[in-house]
Amino acid sequence: MFLTYLRRELRRRLRQAIFISLGLALGVGLVITVTAASNGVKNSQSSVLHALYGVGTDLTVTQPAKQGSSAATTFGFTQDIKDIRSGVIAAGTKINISNLSTVQYGILGPAALDKVARQPGVTGTVGGLTLTDATVTGTVPSISAGQGAASYRSSFTTNSFSVAGVDVSNGALGPLSAGRITSGHVLTRREANSDDALVDADYATQNGLKVNDAVDVGGTNFTIVGLISAPQEGNPPDVYIPLAKAQGIGKNGSAGLAHDVDTIYVTAASSADIGSVQREIAAALPSATVTDSSDLASEVTGSLNSASSLANNLGRWLSVAVLIAAFLLASLLTMAAVSRRVREFGTLKALGWPSWRIVGQVMGESIAVGIVGAAAGVGLGFGGAALIDRLAPKLSATVGPVNTASVTGSGRALGTGALKALDGYSHTVSVTLTAPVTVDLILLAVALAVAGGLIAGMVGGWRAARLRPAAALARVD
Amino acid sequence: MYQLTNVIKKYRKGGATVAALQGVDLVIDDGEWLAIQGPTGHGKSTLLQIIGGLDRPTSGTVEFDGASLTGMRERRVTKVRARSIGFIFQTFNLIPTLSAAENVEAALVPLHVGAAARKARAQQALAAVGLGDRLRHLPSELSGGQQQRVAIARALVKDPKVLLADEPTGNLDEDTRDEIIGLLQRLWRSRGLTMVLVTHDSSVASRAQRLGLMRNGLLSVTKAPT
């Protein structure tokens, strides 16, 4: 009887039922589309941030370089230049000088690494070095009086690439974590002191390098054991060598880097602990800068950021507004339908139908309308998401620009890629926006539509339950 | 069957208090047929609704089968209506979306009768009022007389003790009126029903055992004119 009555009643007011369903469908469709777009934006942001930051890393710790101590301007070639200028290196001498050095960031000794590792809530730490290999090749020119520095410059060729010293004992944390080996193998514990290197796949393509080739890093020939594809959004290092080797051949000005690192990658026990761990490390190392991914997120600007704001603000409120409107519409129309059925419900009460049965009937009808609305809404939501997939323009994410003084002065501490990204220039990447519709999202949408039907049914049912049979019949009789 | 003592019913209408019943005393015996006549707005339908448990008096008591309807919780009154009281209305009050058989079945729903038994009993009830061949017809596909027959079948399908009819022939032509009253009379007799029938129509009222006259909320009961 329940289903027969329900079906017949909905068929009788088919147009109204369709109208309510469409209202709910519109609301649900918008929720799906906006949430899918919002998820897409979040995925894009996450992909950009992971690329910049390193998958699995919760915090990074760095030390700002001491003002005036940086050898960045000469890349460690101070003595060589003096020798050329003073004639110690004779004109006509062919030179090939390679230097591997830290450029902008302060050094964190082994004590700092231990201190960070001992902080409560820290489950993993890995040190790393971010170095620049600079090579100068050419022939020392014969300089006559009156010739300036320009003559020197024209006689030499400079080449530089970035080198990451990575702790091979924990590849899940640090610069290697975001990469994927495309050829060869990843650096292993056994290669911790070897002259083996990984090369960024793009860098290898540009320079015609492949597995088993040699690459000169700081004057040492390293054998390429693998090519790694890291997300290009993060400006990955060009070459990865074992940390111990980087510490052995790298320089900080004229000093060596034995046991030193310039970045500590940290994982926390849980995402909820990140804030407290960040504070504890900052307290333990007062001169260091401790950064989490949200700090980096705040540096990201561009249309990706705008899309995120749009999805989170306008989109969310628009869908909430449409949902509320749909719920109100459904409730009002259900109440109107109940008003038109006063005689019917009065009759049923006269027949001995208890109020709960009448309320159940009204709610059943509303929920059925809600389910139809949910189905249509899911369809609309998929359509909206497909439209976004097809029509959405490429979004850009820009990190910076941040001037070098700011970076070194405040000691901004980000992952390897982020360090480069913030290094005095803005870095813009393009991402394709997709709107993924997940099962959770569909379930949420169905629940919303059914809830809409339920609310409408409860409002209508409450009105029906309140009817006194005599009053209901008197309105007719 | 019924004992009403000093039943008063007042209600608010447009800011004023209207006394629909001003102290009705009435006894209705088992198997009795009482017809109530009176001008419009003098309390006939109000009295019928109070007897049927559709409304409660402002004061006074209504006893049904030895139990006080006025003192019962609404849930129990609903059960009494479901089991013991059948209603017939002037405008038939059939559910427009349900077929004749389904309308009759609706009276058995609150009694938790199984679907198959409901169907069988509805068919029997409709056959008893001469509509065995109209089971699947919607109310809109039936004449006024046929609709009232469906309403009678719906009222009687649960074998109630009491049948309360409010102007059951008010919307019918003379021939159909006679036919319906004849049917009610037969059923009253054959089933031993207690029947209270409100009507304007003296020819209908004249068939009852007793006649009550409602005027200004007061009831005076006389023996039937014949």
Could you give the CA distance from residue A345 to residue A3 in angstroms, rounded to a whole number? 17
A282 and A380, same domain (yes or no) = no
pTM confidence score: 0.61
pLDDT digits (tens, 9 = 90+) for A365-387: 888 988 998 899 899 989 988 88
CATH label of the domain that carries residue B126 = 3.40.50.300
CB contact under 8 A, B82 and A352: yes
Of the residues A237, A261, A287, which one is the last residue of a structural domain? A287
Confidence check: pLDDT of A398 > 80: no
Confidence band (pLDDT; 50, 70, 90) for A136? confident
pLDDT at res. A50: 57
Tell me whether residue A244 is in a domain: yes
Tell me whether residue A299 is in a domain: no
Q: Which helix (H) or strand (E) holds B23?
A: strand B16-28
Q: What are phi and psi for residue A226, nearest 5 degrees?
A: -170, 155
Confidence band (pLDDT; 50, 70, 90) for A311? low
pLDDT digits (tens, 9 = 90+) for A78-92: 666 677 667 777 777
A453, A368 in Cβ contact below 8 A? yes
Confidence check: pLDDT of A456 > 50: yes
Q: Fill in the amino acid letter for B4.
A: L
Confidence band (pLDDT; 50, 70, 90) for A414? very low
Q: Could you give the number of structural domains in chain A?
A: 2
CB interface of A with B, residues 340-359, below 8 Å: 343-344, 346-355, 357
Judged by a CB distance cut-off of 8 A, whether residue B41 touches chain A is no
Confidence check: pLDDT of A423 > 50: no
Residues of B in contact with A9 (CB under 8 A): 97
A129, A243 in Cβ contact below 8 A? yes
Min mean pLDDT across A384-388, A461-465, A472-476 is at A472-476
Structure tokens at A280: 């504890």
Tell me whether residue A335 is in a domain: yes
pLDDT at res. A410: 29
pLDDT at res. A425: 41
Confidence check: pLDDT of B151 > 90: yes
pLDDT digits (tens, 9 = 90+) for B89-137: 988 899 999 999 999 999 999 999 999 999 999 999 999 888 989 999 9
Min mean pLDDT across A345-349, A372-376, A390-394 is at A390-394
Residues of A in contact with B118 (CB under 8 A): 1
Judged by a CB distance cut-off of 8 A, whether residue B12 touches chain A is no
CB contact under 8 A, B87 and A343: no
Tell me whether residue A295 is in a domain: no
Of the residues A260, A287, A314, which one is the last residue of a structural domain? A287
A219 and A330, same domain (yes or no) = no
Higher pLDDT, A461 or A406: A461
Residues of B in contact with A346 (CB under 8 A): 93
Could you give the CA distance from residue B150 to residue B70 in angstroms, rounded to a whole number? 30
A334 and A463, same domain (yes or no) = yes
A213 and A268, same domain (yes or no) = yes
pLDDT digits (tens, 9 = 90+) for B44-65: 999 999 999 999 999 999 999 9
Cβ pairs bridging A and B (under 8 Å): 87
A328 and A214, same domain (yes or no) = no
Average pLDDT taken over every residue of chain A: 78
Nearest CB partner across the interface for B55, out of A5, A344, A470: A470
Could you give the CA distance from residue A339 to residue A347 in angstroms, rounded to a whole number? 14
**Distance from the A21 Cα atom to the nearest Cα atom in chain B, whole angstroms:** 21
Domain assignment of residue B202, given as a range: 2-223
pLDDT at res. A301: 57
Which residues does residue A180 pair with via DSSP β-bridges, in sequence order?
A229
A43 and A182, same domain (yes or no) = no
Mean pLDDT of A101-123: 85
Mutate to test the interface with B, among A12, A347, A348, A353 (most CBs of B within 10 A): A347
A181 and A315, same domain (yes or no) = no
Contacts with A244 (C-beta within 8 Å, 6 or more apart), sequence order: A192, A193
Domain assignment of residue A429, given as a range: 2-50+304-474
Could you give the CA distance from residue A141 to residue A138 in angstroms, rounded to a whole number? 9
ipTM: 0.92
A78 and A225, same domain (yes or no) = yes
Provide the 3-class DSSP secondary structure of residue A182: strand
* Alpha helix segments (H runs only) across A54-141: 78-86, 110-118
pLDDT at res. A409: 27
Could you give the CA distance from residue A382 to residue A359 in angstroms, rounded to a whole number? 34
pLDDT at res. A451: 85
CB contact under 8 A, A1 and B118: yes
Average pLDDT taken over every residue of chain B: 91
A338 and A389, same domain (yes or no) = yes
Higher pLDDT, A81 or A361: A361
Nearest CB partner across the interface for A477, out of B89, B105, B111: B89
CB contact under 8 A, B81 and A350: yes
Mean pLDDT of A4-18: 89
Tell me whether residue A325 is in a domain: yes
Judged by a CB distance cut-off of 8 A, whether residue B83 touches chain A is yes
A348 and A276, same domain (yes or no) = no
Strand ranges (E), A140-232:
156-166, 180-184, 196-200, 214-217, 220-229
Residues of A in contact with B167 (CB under 8 A): 477
pLDDT at res. A213: 93
Q: In degrees, to the nearest 5, what angle opens at C-alpha A346 toward C-alphas A342 and A349? A: 140
CB contact under 8 A, B109 and A1: yes
A88 and A230, same domain (yes or no) = yes
pLDDT digits (tens, 9 = 90+) for A177-221: 777 889 999 888 888 889 999 999 999 999 999 999 999 988 889
**Distance from the A350 Cα atom to the nearest Cα atom in chain B, whole angstroms:** 7
CB contact under 8 A, A12 and B96: yes
- As a dihedral over the C-alpha atoms of residue B122, residue B126, residue B128, residue B133, rounded to 10 degrees, the angle is -130
A373, A31 in Cβ contact below 8 A? no
CB contact under 8 A, B82 and A351: yes
Q: Could you give the number of structural domains in chain B?
A: 1
**Torsion-angle region of residue A468: left (phi > 0), alpha (psi -120 to 50) or beta?**
beta
Confidence check: pLDDT of A9 > 60: yes
High-pLDDT (> 70) share of chain A, %: 75
CA distances from residue A399 to A200, A305, B112 in whole angstroms, order as listed? 21, 11, 71
Tell me whether residue A296 is in a domain: no
CB contact under 8 A, B78 and A473: no
A281 and A351, same domain (yes or no) = no
**Distance from the A347 Cα atom to the nearest Cα atom in chain B, whole angstroms:** 6
